[in-house]
Amino acid sequence: MSISKESELVGMQNASEAVAFILKEMRNYTQPGRTTKQIDEYGGQILKDLGAKSAPRLTYNFPGWTCISLNNEIAHGIPSNQKIVKEGDLINIDVSAELNGFWSDNGGSFVLGEDIHQHQPLIQASKEILRKAIFAIKGGVRISEIGYLIENEAKKAGYKVIQNLTGHGVGRSLHEEPHEIANYRDTYNFKRFKKNSVVAVETFISTASTQAVTQKDGWTLIGNKGGFVAQHEHTLVITDGKPIILTEMNQIWEE
């Protein structure tokens, strides 16, 4: 969406603060021995308390309030009583929601407890690359240039990017124009970021894979060549200068 009046900015701020708060609270609630279903139900209760609705459930009838992906899962992991989180797990929580007609999206990967499997460098790279990408975005910048920045920074850090998962426009629905804010330079994408528009920008930084493959459950994505992926995501308003990061209170950069 494009922000054209103060009430729209306030609406987006409220929806974004809701998803950011839920993400932060779910991350704090995640402890060894808990199931991803328990963690999801905890987030779902906060959604309800805030008067918000789960965006993946509302839009796609996703079987969970949020997406929780474990270890080799890239995204869209289904919350389950069979998945018990352990010390050192690589966990990704993605929270998107609708509140009073406005939609916002955010997510982040983190290590649970001690980093016994050495995932932290991957996570750190993802966070730093997202920061660089976001602060390079302003009205008139080519979307493909941001993709090039993400891919190039990943390569410099010794990683790859997932090419078939992208950021996107957001605001009045979960996915809007621009539909693809890729993590690589898409030479066929001539679109530019527009001032006052709202986008969800996300990194998918990978140790081995370049494509996400849907599993038999119809939702869960894993890499075509294995390995691990870190994802971090903020919703923001594009300006002529520094963007307004609407989901900043999720503190994904401060973990």
User: Can you say which residues are annotated as belonging to the binding site for a divalent metal cation?
Assistant: 94, 105, 168, 202, 233
Binding annotation for substrate: 76, 175
DSSP codes joined into one string, 112-171: -SS-TT--HHHHHHHHHHHHHHHTT--TT-BHHHHHHHHHHHHHHTT-EE-TT--EEE-S
Determine the Cα–Cα distance for residues 151 and 160; give it in Å rounded to an integer: 7
Residue by residue, DSSP assigns 29-78 as H--TT-BHHHHHHHHHHHHHHHT-EEHHHHHH--SSSSEEEETTEEE-PP
Annotated binding site: 76, 94, 105, 168, 175, 202, 233
